[in-house]
Amino acid sequence: MAAGIKDKVAILGMGCSRFGERWNDNAEDLMIEAYVEALADAGIEKSSIDAAWFGTGIEEEHVGKSAVPLSMALRLPNIPVTRVENYCASGSEAFRGAVYAVASGACDIALALGVEKLKDTGYGGLPQRNRGSVNDLFWANASAPGSFAQLASAYSAKHGVNKDDMKRAMAHISVKSHDNGSRNPKAHLRNKINEEKVMNAPMIAEPLGLFDCCGVSDGSACAIVTTPEIAKSLGKKDLVTVKAMQLSASNGTEAQHNSWDGSHFVTTRAAANRAYKEAGISKPRDQISLFEVHDCFSITEFVTMEDLFISEEGNAVNDVMNGFYDADGKIPCQIDGGLKCFGHPIGASGLRMIYEMYLQMQGRAGERQRQDEPVFGMTHNLGGFPHQNVCSITIVGKEGA
């Protein structure tokens, strides 16, 4: 049987660009910004990197095909570089490639970098060029807000949550994330908001209002990984190691069969179950210290609390309103501001989430630092729509935990 990758790979260094409307910078500038920080944090020379993985989602709009743009931007020394794309989980896919390469023994040191530069495209949201026959068949007239609004309606119907309670819970999520993001100098949006403003904002797709939706940003994030033994030989202490990485992809059942009721993410539950098993976590509500989830919409974060088995099914509304997931709550969610305040440069988001967990584990998160010494951090990176998606779960933590 597969033994998994728990504690076989350590994060040597990470970097993250400032996210936002980076009109005066191109994708290469953003890549370099994240990479320079990661390389300095790792304390190594470029020549030590054996291979690299490059995540980007809508490459036609900025860097173009292949992994060559990463190799050129960073002037990598003709090493293997692989471009990966898996919807909005592309950044996590780059990290998974680098982690697996080190865990397998194929590389001593590997790099993962994700980037997206979309603000220059002229679209208010994500660009909608033709994305292939599967999308044409199943996403022909879909919009992201509309699809996730249907998730909210299905959840409310299944669990008997009335409209006002659901709306206030989603508003609490948005207010909480903006409060957290206000303390993050790399976030796109750093403005605090209140519940009244969220509740009275223009409706985008019932019940999702303006502040229930994340925006699009430009940004990049980077990780350098190695074995714990090599990290220690380089003088690193208090290592942050990878405990689990699991990916789940829709198989068509949600889109093509009425056995799915539309109220949850099948892939999140599958990936979470496997990740907890790989990491040796049996009681996530008690053992996870903090986490980042794919809050493309406030309802996504809300439903994900249950799909990750933190809140009991049907009870997320109570945990949210009781502050369980606030920065000073039992398990902070989006302590860096999340997609809600960073925006969503597709190829970068997954790595940006891991970057925050890494900083928190090392006590380097500044004003956002959780004071109770986090042990396990989890990230949830989702791509696609509720009925057709991929979900990537990563758990990192202190070595030996």
Does the active-site annotation cover 214? Answer: no
For the chain, domains (ranges, CATH) are 10-118+218-233 (3.40.47.10), 142-211+240-398 (3.40.47.10)
Specify the pLDDT at position 60: 79
Distance from the Cα of residue 133 to its chain's centroid: 27
Measure the CA–CA gap between 236 and 239, rounded to whole angstroms: 7
Specify the pLDDT at position 127: 63
Does the active-site annotation cover 344? Answer: yes
- Which is catalytic among the residues 16, 62, 88, 188? 88
Measure the CA–CA gap between 231 and 18, rounded to whole angstroms: 27
User: How is 276-322 classified by DSSP, letter by letter?
Assistant: HHHHT-S-HHHH--EEE---SBHHHHHHHHHHTTSSPTT-HHHHHHT
Q: For the segment 70-122, what is each residue's pLDDT rounded down to a tens digit?
A: 999 999 999 999 999 999 999 999 999 999 999 999 999 999 999 999 888 76
| Torsion of the alpha carbons at 40, 41, 47 and 51, rounded to the nearest 10 | -130
Do the Cβ atoms of 285 and 331 come closer than 8 Å?
Answer: yes
Specify the pLDDT at position 279: 98
> CB atoms < 10 A from the CB of 50, how many?
17
Specify the pLDDT at position 3: 85
Q: What is the mean pLDDT of each run of 10 residues along the chain (401 residues)?
A: 90 98 95 98 98 92 89 97 96 98 98 92 62 65 89 97 96 98 97 96 97 95 98 97 98 93 98 98 98 97 98 97 97 98 96 98 96 95 96 97 90
Specify the pLDDT at position 139: 65
Q: Which helix (H) or strand (E) holds 338?
A: helix 338-342
- Which is catalytic among the residues 172, 178, 344, 387? 344
Specify the pLDDT at position 161: 96
* Burial degree of 265 (CB within 10 A; 0-12, 13-18, 19+): buried
Measure the CA–CA gap between 31 and 114, rounded to whole angstroms: 8
Measure the CA–CA gap between 340 and 27, rounded to whole angstroms: 21
